[in-house]
């Protein structure tokens, strides 16, 4: 823990009000019960720490990754059972905790992997189903779990066994574990993994194009989250001294965990803490004061609060304040550009067109009965701009999808020159990204909830693993693309021209060797078209090879070294732009036979 | 052999029960594209209402349907209008999920507050009388449930396909924007559909109350199976839900008898997970556009 804190120590001198509030809140959580010294108050604060920890752990999956799990009690339960079973065999829960965490992480990976295809309510349903299965299994295997009768721990007191008569040590452990959860959550959120998780949540395909191994990052998140939940489960089992399947694998318990995160602010680092701090005392006091008379009262309050929260504060309390706390960004004074700068000045001399860097051979693709790509072959040379044009429905984007790994061809091959000068045959988007192929999408795919800077950082992380380096690279790219003034704006607020530039900026931050641009000029105004043309030329002059699908003929004519015309999935013409536009086949494809006849 | 036939008969009767609970759920999902996590609590509310009407007024449980179904219609319509409609444009799924999860939590605990943890037994009114059909024996009430479920499927299909309102509902379900351009008031259709879906649960609760004890958690018990049925039958498909319910009823009964009664839930949910992961569109689901698969 001290290790993690030390790099931020210099920053403490200039604490923001939010950070001071956080420190005060954490201190209050620990000091209040110690000062009051009441058993019940201790219990309430231990429960707060427990739920804050669980909810923070949940948030790594449910918030950052956007996978709404309603089965997190599975991991909590696994931790609890592992701790108790091992303790009754004479093994300390301090060790059992890690056994539970390891089992929970493996279980989480195994059950999440197939479920990642499911979104929204279906993922939630699947997690509920898994929870039910675990509960039923825990009831069934009596020899191991004690079945419906539950399990008592053997009463061995002391730090070694994590069981105490007095409350203070339990508070210390609960508080410490909550801190661990918060630190893990903060570290993940402010590093590459966190950016990748949020990017994957916002736009899975764009994240894959940016070289993110979406399955891997999500599985990492799930494993970490499950391990933390399991460790808290072990602690709680020791605290309760008795566990049973109905309590350990409980759906209402899972819902509560998720609920604190939602009310505090889903996807924010400290929202779950805030949610637990506000809601746990409410219900614990209701339970303590009214007792059995108010059976169901606290649940009713929870339900109503939850409904009110989604209706009026769908982004939670933290969300109302700020959506993504990015501490480093807010501290550094930003170089604000007064006006959007165009591309960097171009090199006087363009480098000569080099050797082949991409080879596309005999691509075939059918969608049902439709032959969308028929025997398409072409190659791309280093430093070349290749225009890909054709009428709507000609199959241009399908070709793009096949040469960036998003779609598998029925037959034919795509090979890309690697840095050692050998041709490789990549298959997945991450393979293509690894070889230096970057792409944009015709329909822009911004990570809507992230700022412009964070959007570009997702691309920059491909080259720079460190957050500071990635941020620097992203800023530089942003300024080059004329996005400097909007660095801190959320991507959803940009105009269509801005979003198109953001697409390009994100790819450029990956420093690709081959750039696939899908209609980056469609729908933008004349000034922006001129600027985009200059930009593409300057990118080309750095030695990047570009394939551009484009309808704006002004751009195609002035940019392309070579043009390929696609019609009904076939290449009907290839050559210099001036020659291609005079080709009768091309005119026919665009304007019909009648027009060709009328000309003669 | 006789035992096997009896188990199959039990399975089919159970299927009828699952079907009548699931029809409303699949209807609501198919049209509004919202998974109503509070569906089970609608059932619980209907069952408590049936219990009250039957015990306080001395009516036959089936007679209470004239009150319960309209009451549930209103509950459903209000849920749609006040809770779901403001959230339809929400960017994230989690908002809608939490809305109905919150409603469910509130309703379960409200029932706990009002009735405590005790079980309310609706008078059986002779519906638990065993009836012999050939070699098998089932309860009278189970036969009525089965028949009502079948009739409800046919009735709803006719309504959706043969009436102008039904066509409007299907149009909104397929493309909300296009339907609005054709002059259909989509919000009103949603309110109506949610109401109809909830009214189906109202009918179900009056039929089920005499056979099963009512408690605050009865909804959770049934709704998880209803989710299984709906996914199995293809989300939004009403005949699919009926067939899915029969399959799950049979699996439940057979697993309970041949594997062990305490593991039958594990088997049912295991089947659910396999279907959800391998064929998220369900066994018969081709009708609904799979907007949840990216």
Q: What is the ipTM of this complex?
A: 0.88
Q: Which of A70, A299, A311 sits opposite B86 (nearest CB)?
A: A311
Exposed, middle or buried, B134 (CB in 10 Å: 0-12/13-18/19+)? Answer: exposed
The per-residue pLDDT of chain B, averaged, comes to 87
Residue of A nearest to B79 (CA): A307
Q: Which of B97, B98, B262 sits opposite A139 (nearest CB)?
A: B262
Q: For chain B, how big is the Rg over CA atoms in Å?
A: 19
- What string of DSSP letters covers A256-304? HHHHHHHHHHTTSSSHHHHHHHHHHHHHHHHHHHHGGGGTTHHHHHHHH
Dmax (CA) of chain B: 59
pTM of the shown model: 0.85
**How is residue A237 written in tokens?**
């089992």
Number of other residues whose CB lies within 10 A of the CB of residue A413: 13
Q: Is B48 on the interface with A (CB under 8 A)?
A: no
Query: Measured between CA atoms, how close is B52 to chain A, in angstroms?
Result: 20
**Beta-carbon separation of B277 and A126 below 8 A:** yes
A360 contacts: CB under 8 Å, gap ≥ 6: A376, A377, A378, A379, A399, A403, A412, A413, A414
Instruction: Choose, out of A114, A307, A319, A448, the residue to mutate when testing the contact with B (most B CBs < 10 Å).
Output: A307
* Contact flag B93-A121 (C-beta cutoff 8 Å): yes
| Bridge partner list, A439 | A516
Provide the 8-state DSSP code for A600: -
Please state, as a whole number, how many other Cβ atoms lie within 10 Å of the Cβ of residue A94: 16
Which residues numbered 56-85 in B keep a CB inside 8 Å of some CB on A?
83
Considering only CA atoms, give the Rg of chain A.
29
> Please, is A588 exposed, middle or buried when counting C-beta atoms within 10 Å of its C-beta (0-12, 13-18, 19+)?
middle
Copy the structure tokens of residue A104.
Answer: 């929970």
Residue B89 at interface with chain A, using a CB cutoff of 8 Å? no
Residues 6+ apart with CB under 8 A from B32: B80, B84, B190, B193, B194
> DSSP 3-state assignment of B160?
helix
Greatest mean pLDDT among A74-88, A110-124, A144-158 lies in A74-88
pLDDT, tens digit, 9 for 90 and up, residues A295-341 = 778 788 888 888 988 888 877 887 777 544 444 443 343 333 334 44
Q: Which of B95, B108, B228 is closest, CB to CB, to A299? A: B108
Q: Which helix (H) or strand (E) holds A237?
A: helix A214-240
pLDDT per residue over A403-433, tens digit each?
Answer: 888 888 888 888 888 888 888 888 888 888 8
Q: Does pLDDT of A293 surpass 70?
A: no
Give me the percent of chain A exceeding a pLDDT of 70: 91
Question: Residue B229: its chain A contacts at CB < 8 A?
Answer: none
Chain A residues 54-93 with a CB less than 8 Å from chain B: 62, 66, 68, 70
User: How much of chain B is in helix, strand and coil states, percent to nearest 5?
Assistant: 75, 5, 25
Contact list, B280 vs chain A (CB under 8 Å):
117-118, 122
Question: A262 and chain B: CB distance < 8 Å anywhere?
Answer: yes
Provide the shortest C-alpha distance from residue B164 to chain A (in Å). Answer: 31
Q: Which residues contact B139 (CB under 8 A, 6 or more apart)?
A: B13, B127, B128, B129, B130, B131, B211
Residue B112 to residue A295, Cβ atoms within 8 A: yes
Query: Which site among A286, A303, A316 would you substitute to test the B interface, given the most B Cβ atoms closer than 10 Å to its Cβ?
Result: A303
pLDDT in tens, B147-187: 999 999 999 999 999 999 999 999 998 888 888 888 899 99
What residues in A contact B108, CB-CB < 8 Å?
Answer: 296, 299, 303
* Contacting A residues, span 116-135, partner chain B, CB-CB under 8 Å: 117-122, 124-126, 128-130, 132-133
**Cross-chain residue pair A129–B263, CB shorter than 8 Å:** no
Q: Is B99 on the interface with A (CB under 8 A)?
A: yes
Cα distance from A222 to chain B (closest Cα, Å)? 18
Element containing residue A334 per DSSP (H, E): none
Determine the Cα–Cα distance for residues A380 and A513; give it in Å rounded to an integer.
Answer: 11
- pLDDT above 50 for A575: yes
CA A297 – CA A289 distance, rounded (Å): 12
Residue B267 forms contact with A (CB below 8 Å): no
Annotate A13-67 with DSSP letters as a single string: TT--HHHHHHHHHHHHHHHHHHHH--HHHHHHHHHHHHHHHHHHHHHIIIIIS--
Chain A residues close to B112, C-beta within 8 Å: 295-296, 299-300
The CB-side HSE value for A337 (13 A sphere, CA atoms) comes to: 17
- The answer, for A270 touching chain B at a CB cutoff of 8 Å, is no
Q: Classify residue A488 as exposed, middle or buried by CB count within 10 Å of its CB (0-12, 13-18, 19+).
A: middle
Q: Which of A273, A178, A223 is nearest to A67 (CA)?
A: A223
Does B265 touch chain A if contact means CB atoms closer than 8 Å? yes
CA proximity to B50, closest of B201, B152, B195, B194: B201
Cα gap A477→A508, rounded to integer Å: 7
DSSP string, A372-424: EEEEEEEEEETT-EEEEE-STTSSHHHHHHHTTTSS--SEEEEEEE-TTS-EE
Report the 10 Å Cβ neighbour count for B10: 22
A68 vs B90, B97, B220: nearest CB = B97
For the four alpha carbons of A147, A149, A151 and A154, in that order, the dihedral sign comes to negative
Paired with A158 in beta bridges are: A163
pLDDT band at A585 (very low <50, low <70, confident <90, very high): confident
Distance, CA of B244 to CA of B275 (rounded, Å): 11
What tokens appear for B263 in the block? 């593991």
pLDDT at A600: 62
pLDDT 10s digits, A528-552: 788 888 888 888 888 889 998 888 8
Which of A114, A119, A129 comes nearest B292 by C-beta? A119
**A300 CB within 8 Å of a chain B CB:** yes
Q: What is the pLDDT of residue A347?
A: 53
Q: Which two tokens stand for residue B227?
A: 């989710």
Instruction: Collapse the DSSP code of B191 into the 3-class scheme (helix H, G, I; strand E, B; otherwise coil) and give the result.
Output: helix
Instruction: Give the best residue of A59, A74, A125 to mutate against chain B (max B CB count within 10 A).
Output: A125
Q: Are A149 and A83 in contact (CB under 8 A)?
A: no
From the centroid of its chain, how far is CA A92?
A: 37
Q: What pLDDT digit, counting tens, does each position of A42-75 carry?
A: 999 999 999 999 999 999 999 898 888 999 999 9
Helix (H), strand (E) at residue A509: none
Asked if the C-beta of B179 comes within 8 angstroms of chain A's C-beta atoms, the answer is no
State the pLDDT confidence band at A5, using cuts at 50, 70 and 90.
very low
């Amino acid at each position: 823990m001290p290790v993690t804190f030390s790099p931020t120590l210099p920053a403490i001198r200039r604490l923001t009000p939010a950070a001071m509030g956080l420190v005060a809140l954490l201190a209050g959580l620990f000091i209040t019960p110690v000062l009051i010294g009441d058993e019940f108050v201790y219990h309430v604060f231990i429960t707060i720490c427990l739920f804050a920890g669980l909810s923070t752990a949940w948030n790594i999956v449910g918030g950052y990754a956007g996978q709404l799990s309603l089965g997190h009690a599975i991991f909590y339960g696994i931790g609890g059972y592992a701790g108790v079973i091992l303790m009754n065999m004479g093994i300390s829960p301090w060790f059992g905790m890690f056994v539970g965490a390891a089992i929970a992480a493996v279980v989480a990976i195994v059950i999440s992997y197939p479920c990642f295809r499911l979104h929204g309510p279906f993922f939630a349903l699947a997690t509920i189903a898994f929870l039910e299965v675990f509960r039923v299994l825990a009831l069934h295997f009596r020899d191991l779990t004690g079945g419906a009768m539950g399990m008592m721990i053997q009463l061995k007191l002391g730090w070694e066994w994590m069981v105490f008569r007095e409350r203070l040590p339990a508070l210390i452990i609960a508080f410490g574990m909550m801190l661990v959860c918060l630190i893990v959550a903060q570290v993940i959120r402010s590093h590459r993994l966190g950016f990748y998780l949020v990017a994957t949540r916002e736009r899975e395909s764009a994240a894959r194009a940016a070289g993110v191994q979406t399955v891997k990052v999500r599985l990492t998140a799930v494993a970490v989250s499950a391990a933390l939940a399991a460790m808290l489960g072990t602690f709680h089992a020791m605290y309760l001294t008795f566990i049973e399947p109905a309590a350990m694998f409980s759906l209402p318990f899972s819902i509560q965990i998720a609920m604190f995160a939602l009310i505090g602010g889903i996807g924010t680092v400290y929202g779950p803490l805030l949610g637990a701090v506000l809601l746990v005392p409410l219900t614990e006091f209701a339970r303590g004061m009214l007792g059995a008379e108010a059976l169901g009262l606290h649940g009713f309050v929870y339900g109503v609060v939850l409904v009110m929260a989604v209706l009026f504060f769908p982004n939670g309390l933290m969300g109302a304040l700020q959506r993504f706390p990015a501490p480093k960004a807010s501290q550094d004074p930003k170089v604000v550009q007064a006006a959007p700068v165009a591309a960097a000045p171009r090199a006087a001399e363009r480098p000569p067109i080099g050797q082949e860097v991409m080879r596309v051979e005999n691509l075939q693709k059918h969608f049902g009965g439709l032959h969308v790509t028929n025997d398409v072959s072409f190659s791309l040379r280093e430093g070349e701009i290749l225009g890909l044009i054709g009428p709507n429905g000609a199959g241009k984007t399908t070709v793009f999808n096949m040469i960036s790994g998003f779609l598998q061809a029925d037959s034919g091959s795509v090979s890309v020159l690697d840095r050692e000068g050998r041709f490789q045959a990549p298959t997945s988007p991450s393979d293509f990204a690894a070889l230096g192929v970057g792409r944009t999408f015709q329909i822009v795919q911004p990570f809507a909830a992230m700022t412009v800077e964070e959007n570009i950082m997702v691309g920059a992380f491909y080259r720079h693993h460190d957050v500071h380096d990635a941020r620097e690279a992203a800023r530089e790219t942003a300024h080059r693309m004329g996005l400097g003034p909007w660095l801190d704006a959320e991507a959803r607020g940009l105009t269509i021209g801005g979003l198109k530039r953001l697409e390009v900026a994100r790819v450029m931050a990956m420093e690709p060797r081959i750039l696939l641009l899908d209609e980056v000029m469609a729908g933008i105004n004349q000034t922006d078209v001129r600027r985009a043309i200059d930009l593409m030329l300057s990118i080309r002059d750095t030695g990047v090879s570009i394939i551009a699908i484009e309808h704006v003929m002004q751009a195609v004519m002035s940019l392309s070294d070579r043009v390929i015309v696609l019609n009904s999935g076939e290449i009907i013409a290839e050559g210099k732009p001036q020659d291609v536009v005079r080709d009768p086949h091309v005119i026919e494809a665009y304007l019909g036979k009648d027009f060709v006849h009328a000309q003669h | 052999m006789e035992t096997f036939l009896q188990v199959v008969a039990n399975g089919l009767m159970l299927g009828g029960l699952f079907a009548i609970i699931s029809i409303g759920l699949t209807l609501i999902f198919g049209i509004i594209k919202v998974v109503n996590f509070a569906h089970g609590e609608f059932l619980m509310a209907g069952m408590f209402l049936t219990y009250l009407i039957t015990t306080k007024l001395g009516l036959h449980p089936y007679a209470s349907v004239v009150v319960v179904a309209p009451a549930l219609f209103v509950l459903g319509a209000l849920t749609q209008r006040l809770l779901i409609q403001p959230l339809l444009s929400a960017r994230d799924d989690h908002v809608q999920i939490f809305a109905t999860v919150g409603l469910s939590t509130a309703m379960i605990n409200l029932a706990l507050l009002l009735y405590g943890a005790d079980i309310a037994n609706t008078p059986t009114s002779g519906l638990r009388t065993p009836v012999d059909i050939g070699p098998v024996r089932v309860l009278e009430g189970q036969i009525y449930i089965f028949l009502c479920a079948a009739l409800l499927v046919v009735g709803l299909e006719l309504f959706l396909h043969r009436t102008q309102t039904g066509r409007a509902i299907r149009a909104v379900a397929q493309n909300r924007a296009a339907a609005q351009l054709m002059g259909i008031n989509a919000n009103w259709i949603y309110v109506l559909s949610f109401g109809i879906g909830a009214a189906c649960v109202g009918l179900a609760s009056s039929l089920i109350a005499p056979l099963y004890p009512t408690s605050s958690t009865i909804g959770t018990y049934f709704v998880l199976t209803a989710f299984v049925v709906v996914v199995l039958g293809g989300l939004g498909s009403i005949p699919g839900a009926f067939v899915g319910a029969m399959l799950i009823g049979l699996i439940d009964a057979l697993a309970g008898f041949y594997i062990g009664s305490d593991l039958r839930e594990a088997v049912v949910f295991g089947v659910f997970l396999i279907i959800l992961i391998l064929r998220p569109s369900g066994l018969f689901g081709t009708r609904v556009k799979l907007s949840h698969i990216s």
